[in-house]
């Protein structure tokens, strides 16, 4: 169960927090919830792109012992950055920033380990989807060794939005995927770059992969043929570091 200070419950408190623009990891609604106040709240949640899901009342009663009225909202543990602001700030510091985009990486410990490597590698920011992306909770922050409190992180409703934005801004979009004959070491990472990594199970979604400018794979010499996603991210990011240190 989440620590109390990191969630709200009850229709009015959650509605007020949403209207104030507070940041949320997700909002839970009780299955079968009805009423005008609920419909108004749901409309605003959808408008702001806040992740939400419907769950059985039994689960909500387990999570919260008080009068939750069918709604529980988990507060964001960090201050997310608008991805346009992230890009603008990075371009003020460097002519060739590097961003990491995570498509479907949902395990919080993997995500924390990725963020730790990203901060060490000097990555300028992490972009992940609001739905399907890992929650930034206590486990993620702990696994990241605090990196998630330092590295700019943005959540977006759809990863295609930052892909298009970054391409227009002159970035190359590099997909790390086994669905390529080119090797990671053939990629020119000296340019402004966004690295896209997918989940271990399904990889990068076809809709995102089709928009990538470069596709490259990590060479595999053993029989297993795959790496943990946090290790794969580190391999790719540090090839970028190696090239930029020349």
In this structure, the chain runs to a length of 246
**Class of the CATH-defined domain 4-75:** alpha beta
d(CA 81, CA 126): 10
pLDDT in tens, the chain (246 residues): 344 448 889 999 899 889 888 888 889 999 999 999 999 999 999 988 888 999 999 999 998 888 899 999 988 888 889 999 999 999 999 999 999 999 999 999 999 999 999 999 999 999 999 888 888 877 888 899 989 989 999 999 899 999 999 999 999 999 999 989 999 999 999 999 999 999 888 899 999 999 999 999 999 988 887 899 999 999 999 999 999 997
Write down the domain spans for the chain: 4-75, 83-244
d(CA 117, CA 234): 6
pLDDT of residue 2: 42
Query: Tokens at residue 84, please?
Result: 């346009």
Sheet containing 214-216: order of strands: 153-156, 125-129, 98-103, 193-198, 172-176, 214-216
C-alpha span between 40 and 228 (Å, rounded): 42
Other CB atoms closer than 10 Å to residue 58's CB: what's the count?
A: 10
User: Does the domain formed by 83-244 have CATH 3.40.50.720?
Assistant: no
pTM of the predicted model, to two decimals?
0.80
């Amino acid at each position: 169960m989440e620590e109390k200070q990191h969630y709200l419950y009850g229709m009015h408190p959650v509605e007020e927090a949403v209207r104030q623009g507070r940041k949320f990891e997700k909002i839970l609604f009780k299955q079968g919830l009805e009423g005008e106040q609920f419909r108004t709240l749901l409309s605003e949640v959808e408008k702001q792109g806040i992740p939400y899901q419907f769950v059985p009342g039994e689960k909500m009663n387990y999570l919260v012992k008080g009068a939750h009225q069918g709604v529980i909202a988990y507060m964001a543990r960090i201050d997310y950055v608008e991805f346009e602001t992230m890009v603008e700030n990075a371009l003020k510091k460097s002519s060739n920033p590097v961003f990491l985009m995570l498509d479907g990486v949902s395990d919080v410990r993997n995500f924390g380990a990725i963020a730790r490597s990203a901060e060490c590698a000097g990555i300028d920011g992490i972009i992940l989807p609001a739905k399907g992306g890992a929650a930034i909770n206590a486990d993620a922050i702990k696994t990241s060794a605090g990196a998630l409190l330092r590295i700019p992180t943005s959540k977006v409703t759809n990863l295609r939005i930052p892909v298009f934005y970054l391409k227009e801004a002159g970035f190359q979009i590099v997909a790390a995927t086994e669905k390529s004959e080119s090797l990671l070491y053939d990629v020119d990472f000296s340019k402004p770059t966004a690295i896209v990594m997918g989940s271990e199970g399904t990889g990068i979604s076809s809709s995102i992969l089709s928009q990538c400018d470069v596709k490259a794979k990590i060479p595999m010499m053993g029989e297993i043929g795959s790496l943990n996603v946090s290790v794969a991210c580190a391999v790719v990011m540090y090839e970028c570091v190696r090239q930029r240190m020349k």
